[in-house]
Amino acid sequence: MRDPSPRAAGTLTASHLCRQGLAMVLACTLLGGDVSAQLLSRLLKPVKTIVQPVVTIVTHLTCSVTQLLASPKLDSAVKNWASDAGPATLRVIVTAEPGLLSTITTLVTTTLGLPLVRELPGINALVTEIDLDDLSILACDVSVSSISVDAIVRLPSEPASSGSAYSLRETLGLPDGAPKGTGIGVAVVDSGIALSPDFGLRITAFYDFTRGGVAALPSDPYGHGTHVAGLIAGAGLLAGGGAYRGVAPGAHLIGLRVLDEEGTGRTSDVISAIEYATNHRTALDIDVINLSLGHPIFEGAATDPLVRAVEAAVRAGIVVVAAGGNYGVHPDTGAAGYGGTTSPGNAPSVMTVGALDTRNTTTRGDDRIGAYSSRGPTWYDGIAKPDLVAPGHGMVSNAAIGSTLYERYPSARVSTTYFRLNGTSMAAAVASGAAALVLEANHGASPGAPPLMPNAVKAVLQYTALRTQDAAGLEYDHLTQGAGGLNAAGSLDVARLIDTTRPVTSYWWTGLVEPVTTIAGETWSWSQRILWGSWLVWGSPIDTYEEAWTQSTMWGVDHIVWGSTVTGWDDVVWGSPETPWASQIVWGDELVGTWYSDHIVWGSADDPATTAWGSLAEDEAGEGASGAGS
């Protein structure tokens, strides 16, 4: 184990330091005891006055080893790096206390002499590269709110050898005359978008955040973003592609490239793209952001930088859709596992999507949820996810010819212009297309009215979802299917009824609709349920303009007072003393939270006897912890 103390770099006695001049004498007198020579040399550089470096030293050399490793300011990845042997430096996102970003910038660049990789003003943070000495200073500085790893983001998808030979729009219940997303803009934050006749002139802007966010011609060296864009808005014009139209073939696309030619990137690049989209949403005409990427959850949603960025986008009026992750099975045993949702799918207000396998048919009765599709609840916060599931297995869409995926996996090519992939990446793209249709349908029914709010779009898609069953005919639990399978046709029926000009708490439907949808000659009932935080809310909550659907409300907050149209609710995360998923955590063998009579402290295990749930290994040995409330 490495010693993360500031003294680890080597120490000099006070007498040695005091020989170096008056500034050192003052520093030694005020500090008392040994200090790191390396730190002092950096803190006193450049020396313009005597007073300033002394004040800096006194302010920042206050963090002991114990304080550092126990600091609530550090995410789990940073703590692991600090305590285990590993790289000498780590790239991190440092969040300032409100109004103190400039103070932190000065501390990082001038006092510590560290590189400023970029600022992230939307979340009051910056990106830099630190060593252990730097961490000990930053973690105990009162101006620093949190320190998070600038994590590598990856794509929850993989090549597929068989799958969808049918019309995607048909399996979603959409006839030829249904809306096509015309006038709606979808930002694809991914590996890029390759030019194609299937997109025509509908790629209206493209920025490359692997090169600092410069405007560029559309491109996709990896090939994933093009596939995602095709599922959202491909026109299916290319030879052999008649069945491969996207969900919203009339929508326009804004390409925000954040991943390299190997399909990896940094969280800070993704945040930069999201902040740019949020700040320029009007100029770029962005209504939906698709995030078919993610990283493991290292901290609670309140401090997770990626979550904070997407929540800000939602508050700005953008519908944000994220892949739930492909961690639905335990990596060692292959058994179904829970708690595998990735960031930013843990963001409360984001529409997090799991993957359906449609079994290569239009009918919905044989749909199954992919074993790899991540289940909830979210790590640390215990939020019920996913929000819903959508077609994501064996999905055929546009290929970026010559890209890494295209060249590496020739067996996944359907033709020279189409490619097949599996994953929640694909499912998120399908849901983004459906969100575009909902926005168009609502606007078309009420021209001139304010647009439907992101929370309302999410509620409509959940309320009209179709409950799905496994091969034995048993309905999947809500931490596997969310509200159910995406039902685009039903969501349009509801979207057309909503009048956004009506006041909050009033009835805002302009008519009635039967809560069923017919697909491939079979009639299916809607779920008529909403997943709100850890709660399953049922009744008719979306026929009224509830406070929950307003733009300023974060999804899942507990202060909402539901109207009379809500007939009941259940806690689907902690609803019984023997929570069935608690013994099947997918992420490994660490204890997750501690139960204190009426609440959970996530990410801690102060007393194993009160642990909310234990590890897979403990459960297999018959010693798994019981659920909350035990």
Amino acid at residue number 80: N
Residue with tokens 């330091």: 17
Whole-number Å distance between alpha carbons of 116 and 128: 5
Whole-number Å distance between alpha carbons of 105 and 115: 10
Domain assignment present for 314:
yes
Same domain for 84 and 201, yes or no, is no
Same domain for 531 and 604, yes or no, is no
Residue 67, both tokens: 């304080």
Domain assignment present for 547:
yes
Same domain for 48 and 96, yes or no, is yes
Domain assignment present for 574:
no
**pLDDT greater than 70 at residue 503:** yes
The bridge status of strand 158-159 relative to strand 418-422 is antiparallel
pLDDT of residue 600: 41
The percentage of the chain sitting over the pLDDT mark of 90, rounded to a whole number, equals 64
Same domain for 349 and 491, yes or no, is yes
| Residue ending a domain, choose from 150, 178, 198 | 150
Whole-number Å distance between alpha carbons of 175 and 16: 82
> Which of these ranges, 26-35, 83-92, 287-296, has the smallest mean pLDDT?
26-35
Q: Could you give the residue ranges of the DSSP H alpha helices within 245-385?
A: 267-279, 281-284, 305-315
Same domain for 389 and 298, yes or no, is yes
Same domain for 485 and 523, yes or no, is yes
Please give the tally of structural domains in the chain.
3
Spatial CA neighbour of 357 closest among 450, 407, 426, 438: 426
> pLDDT grade, residue 422 (50/70/90)?
very high
- Three-state DSSP at 65 gives helix
DSSP code of residue 111: I
Domain assignment present for 627:
no
CATH code of the domain covering residue 107: 3.30.70.80
Spatial CA neighbour of 507 closest among 515, 517, 499: 499
For the residues 164-186, what does the mean pLDDT come to?
89
Domain span including residue 616: 580-620
Q: What is the largest CA-CA distance in the chain?
A: 90
Domain assignment present for 377:
yes
Domain assignment present for 471:
yes
Same domain for 383 and 300, yes or no, is yes
Whole-number Å distance between alpha carbons of 41 and 12: 12
pLDDT tens profile 105-139: 999 999 999 999 999 999 999 999 999 999 999 99
Same domain for 241 and 322, yes or no, is yes
Whether the Cβ atoms of residue 180 and residue 252 lie closer than 8 Å to each other? no
**pLDDT greater than 90 at residue 12:** no
* 570 given a catalytic annotation: no
Highest mean pLDDT among 95-99, 139-143, 565-569, 574-578: 95-99
For the residues 51-61, what does the mean pLDDT come to?
40
Same domain for 117 and 205, yes or no, is no
Residue with tokens 């685009």: 488
Query: Residue 570: beta bridge partners?
Result: 536
Domain assignment present for 628:
no
- Mean residue pLDDT of the chain comes to 82
* 357 given a catalytic annotation: no
pLDDT of residue 176: 86
Question: Which residues in 361-376 are b (16+ Cβ under 10 Å) and which e?
Answer: ebbbeebbbbebbbbb
For the residues 136-152, what does the mean pLDDT come to?
94
CATH code of the domain covering residue 486: 3.40.50.200
The rounded radius of gyration (Å) of the Cα atoms in the chain is: 26
| Residue of 191, 374, 397, 425 marked active site | 425
> Which of these ranges, 78-92, 245-259, 468-482, 561-575, has the smallest mean pLDDT?
561-575
- Three-state DSSP at 402 gives coil
pLDDT of residue 23: 34
- For residue 221, whether the previous peptide bond is cis, meaning omega lies within 30 degrees of 0, is no
**pLDDT greater than 90 at residue 57:** no
Whether the Cβ atoms of residue 293 and residue 323 lie closer than 8 Å to each other? yes
Question: Which residues in 276-313 are b (16+ Cβ under 10 Å) and which e?
Answer: bbbeebeebebbbbbbbbbbbbbbbbebbbbbbbbbbb
User: CA distances (Å), 434 to each of 319, 340, 594, in order?
Assistant: 11, 25, 39
Same domain for 274 and 368, yes or no, is yes
| Residue of 75, 133, 150, 190 marked active site | 190
**pLDDT greater than 80 at residue 629:** no
Same domain for 72 and 183, yes or no, is no
| Coarse DSSP helix, strand, coil percentages of the chain, rounded to the nearest 5 percent | 30, 20, 50
DSSP code of residue 151: P
Domain assignment present for 629:
no
User: CA distances (Å), 221 to each of 192, 259, 550, in order?
Assistant: 7, 9, 39
| Residue ending a domain, choose from 526, 546, 569 | 569
Residue 133, both tokens: 């000495």
Residue 57, both tokens: 């030293």
Same domain for 585 and 501, yes or no, is no
pLDDT tens profile 550-563: 999 999 887 777 77
* 143 given a catalytic annotation: no
- Three-state DSSP at 219 gives coil
H, E, C per residue of 331-362: CCCCCECECCCCECCCCCCCEEEEEEECCCCC
Spatial CA neighbour of 212 closest among 311, 306, 94, 119: 119
